[in-house]
């Protein structure tokens, strides 16, 4: 029996070519010099156009991010922190009205307290209206409406308290029982108001932080895109120069060489401009605004603590809670190793003494502690130190005031509404000076960041793309004409 040997089937030759084969089919042959020149020229022009579009889009995105932070989110955070401050000072002024009472020697104190109360009321109302106009979602709008409603309730209770004080003519720091009861109802609303105001401020600050992070990611991605496109564009231009010089045995093509040099300059300048804008954004957010936030929170909380001091004198029944509240807020302002309100002032003295000449010993989680660890700008250290020293003087008054409260209420009220208020005003002025330094630095960094991108978001990349396309055409046209 014979065995038949069968040959394997021949491979099919009509199979569809793979992707790599299709790409190779589109490329000129090795000897097709004009085909390579045309291909490289077209690719160079396309890369030029793509690079221009990408650079422009990235510059616009970065610039828009800077403008959003500088012109929208940062002012929104400022407005909501200002709301907290205005609400806290309203209640402090209401307490001072009752501390002054019907005492003729404190008539000026009462008049000034009423005037300041009205100013802060208008200020808080304006802040709430501004917050409502810039609310970004329904949840924020609902939160603001609830805050407006509770603010109206507080104003009504405060108005009743002032009216009862006018009717009953209570002595200094000794309002009638019904006036004190009305005041307790009004001031009892303040913690909820302040908590809601702070929640609003925190939400807005979260929006700002996310906007900064998005802008930061945008600038990093933009620089990566510029680098990748730049390498590709320069490689194609160098390849085009190589083909015309080596294959055609010509000297350096001036037009293509000029395009290569100008493209390198454009890419380097665009990369530098983007990096400079990103640096200014970092200065604005981390160096300036982080300090601004801590300082504005410190200012708002200082007024709330100052109100606790007046409440302490006004309402003996709640002395322990007001005293503890004042101590807790003071520690958030300037953190020290103090165990309680009795040794807080002396603890501040030690912190100030060391901070003046040596390392910063203010608690790092306190507001002024955060500021002392983020000193960046000219004059900022001296301004922060002035704020701390002024705060020290105010705390000395508070310590003395608490010692007088049990034995001589009239003297304690005189200190609270006199020298202590003056020292508090000096502290507040120093704090505002530190805020101003950081605000100016923030505004300047935002402006510089926008200036760094001027031209890159419109005419500069587009104009360069047109120029490069013309130069490439001028460079390759004579060489292609040799093959006709």
Ordered DSSP codes for 339-398: SSGGGHHHHHHHHHHHHHHSS--S-TTSHHHHHHTS--STTHHHHHHHHHHHHHHHHHHH
What's the whole-number average pLDDT of the chain?
88
Predicted local distance difference test score (pLDDT) of residue 1: 44
Q: Alpha-carbon distance 383 to 389, whole Å? A: 10
The three-state secondary structure class of 161 is: helix
Q: Alpha-carbon distance 430 to 390, whole Å? A: 7
pTM: 0.85
DSSP annotation of 7 reads P
Nearest to 96 by CA among 190, 142, 161: 161
- pLDDT-derived band of residue 210, with 50, 70 and 90 as boundaries? confident
Half-sphere exposure for 121 (CA within 13 Å, toward CB)? 17
Q: Alpha-carbon distance 86 to 130, whole Å? A: 14
Q: Alpha-carbon distance 161 to 115, whole Å? A: 16
Backbone region of residue 331 per phi and psi (left: phi > 0; alpha: psi in -120 to 50; beta: other values): alpha
Helix ranges (H only) for 17-137 are 19-26, 33-68, 74-100, 107-133
Rg (CA), the chain: 35
What's the chain's length in residues? 484
DSSP annotation of 119 reads H
Nearest to 276 by CA among 460, 63, 440, 57: 63
Half-sphere exposure for 270 (CA within 13 Å, toward CB)? 36
Q: Tell me: the pLDDT tens digits for 31-42?
A: 567 778 888 889
Neighbouring-strand partners of residue 359: none
Predicted local distance difference test score (pLDDT) of residue 74: 84
Q: Alpha-carbon distance 351 to 344, whole Å? A: 10
Sign of CA dihedral 164, 410, 120, 193: negative
pLDDT for residue 2 is more than 50: no
Q: Tell me: the pLDDT tens digits for 129-188?
A: 877 776 666 777 788 888 889 999 999 999 999 999 999 998 999 999 999 999 999 999
Beta carbons of 169 and 97 less than 8 angstroms apart: no
Counting beta carbons within 10 angstroms of the beta carbon of residue 184, is it exposed (0 to 12), middle (13 to 18) or buried (19 or more)?
Answer: middle
Between 397 and 144, the higher pLDDT residue: 397
132-141's contacts with Cβ under 8 Å and 24+ in sequence apart are 134/72, 134/76, 134/79, 136/207, 140/200, 140/203
Predicted local distance difference test score (pLDDT) of residue 250: 61
Neighbouring-strand partners of residue 174: 171
Read off the pLDDT of each residue in 10-38 and give the average, rounded to a whole number. Answer: 60
Q: Alpha-carbon distance 381 to 373, whole Å? A: 10
Between 7 and 238, the higher pLDDT residue: 238
297-300's contacts with Cβ under 8 Å and 24+ in sequence apart are 297/81, 297/84, 297/201, 297/367, 298/333, 298/367, 298/368, 298/371, 298/431, 299/85, 299/428, 299/431, 299/432, 299/435, 300/81, 300/82, 300/84, 300/85, 300/88
Between 391 and 64, the higher pLDDT residue: 391
């Amino acid at each position: 029996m014979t065995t038949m040997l069968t040959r394997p089937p021949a491979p099919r030759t009509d199979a569809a070519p793979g992707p790599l084969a299709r790409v190779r089919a589109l490329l000129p042959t090795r000897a097709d010099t004009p085909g390579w020149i045309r291909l490289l020229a077209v690719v160079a022009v396309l890369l030029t156009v793509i690079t221009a579009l990408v650079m422009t889009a990235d510059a616009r995105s970065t610039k828009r991010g800077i403008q959003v932070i500088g012109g929208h989110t940062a002012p929104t955070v400022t407005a909501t922190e200002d709301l907290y401050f205005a609400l806290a000072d309203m209640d402090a002024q209401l307490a001072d009205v009752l501390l002054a009472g019907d005492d003729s020697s404190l008539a000026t104190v009462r008049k000034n307290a009423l005037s300041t109360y009205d100013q802060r009321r208008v200020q808080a109302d304006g802040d709430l209206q501004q917050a409502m106009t810039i609310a970004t979602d329904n949840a924020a709008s609902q939160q603001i409406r609830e805050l407006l409603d509770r603010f109206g309730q507080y104003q009504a209770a405060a108005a009743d308290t002032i009216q009862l004080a006018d009717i009953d003519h209570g002595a200094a720091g000794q309002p009638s029982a019904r006036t004190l009861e009305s005041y307790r109802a009004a001031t009892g609303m303040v913690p909820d108001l302040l908590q809601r105001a702070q929640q609003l401020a925190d939400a807005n600050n979260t929006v700002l932080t996310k906007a900064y992070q998005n802008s930061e990611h945008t600038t990093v991605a933009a620089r990566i895109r510029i680098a990748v496109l730049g390498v590709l564009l320069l490689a194609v231009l160098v390849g085009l120069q190589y083909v015309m010089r080596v294959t055609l045995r010509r000297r350096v093509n001036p037009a293509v060489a000029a395009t290569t040099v100008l493209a390198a300059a454009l890419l380097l300048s665009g990369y530098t401009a983007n990096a400079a804008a990103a640096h200014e954004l970092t200065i604005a957010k981390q160096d300036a605004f982080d300090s601004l936030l801590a300082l504005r929170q410190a200012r708002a909380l200082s007024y709330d603590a100052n109100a606790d001091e007046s409440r302490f004198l006004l309402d003996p029944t709640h002395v322990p809670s007001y005293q503890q509240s004042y101590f807790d807020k003071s520690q958030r302002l300037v953190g020290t190793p103090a165990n309680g309100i009795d040794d807080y002032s002396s603890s501040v003295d030690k912190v100030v003494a060391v901070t003046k000449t040596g390392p910063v010993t203010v608690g790092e989680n306190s507001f002024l502690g955060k500021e002392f660890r983020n000193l960046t700008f000219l004059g900022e250290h001296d301004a922060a130190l002035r704020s701390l020293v002024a705060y020290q003087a105010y705390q000395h008054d508070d310590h003395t005031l608490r010692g007088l409260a049990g034995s001589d209420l009239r003297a304690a009220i005189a200190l609270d509404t006199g020298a202590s208020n003056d020292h508090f005003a000096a502290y507040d002025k120093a704090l505002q000076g530190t805020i101003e330094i950081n605000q100016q630095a923030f505004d300047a960094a935002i402006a510089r960041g926008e200036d760094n991108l001027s031209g890159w978001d419109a005419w500069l990349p587009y104009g360069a793309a047109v120029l490069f396309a013309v130069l490439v055409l001028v460079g390759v046209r004579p060489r292609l004409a040799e093959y006709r």
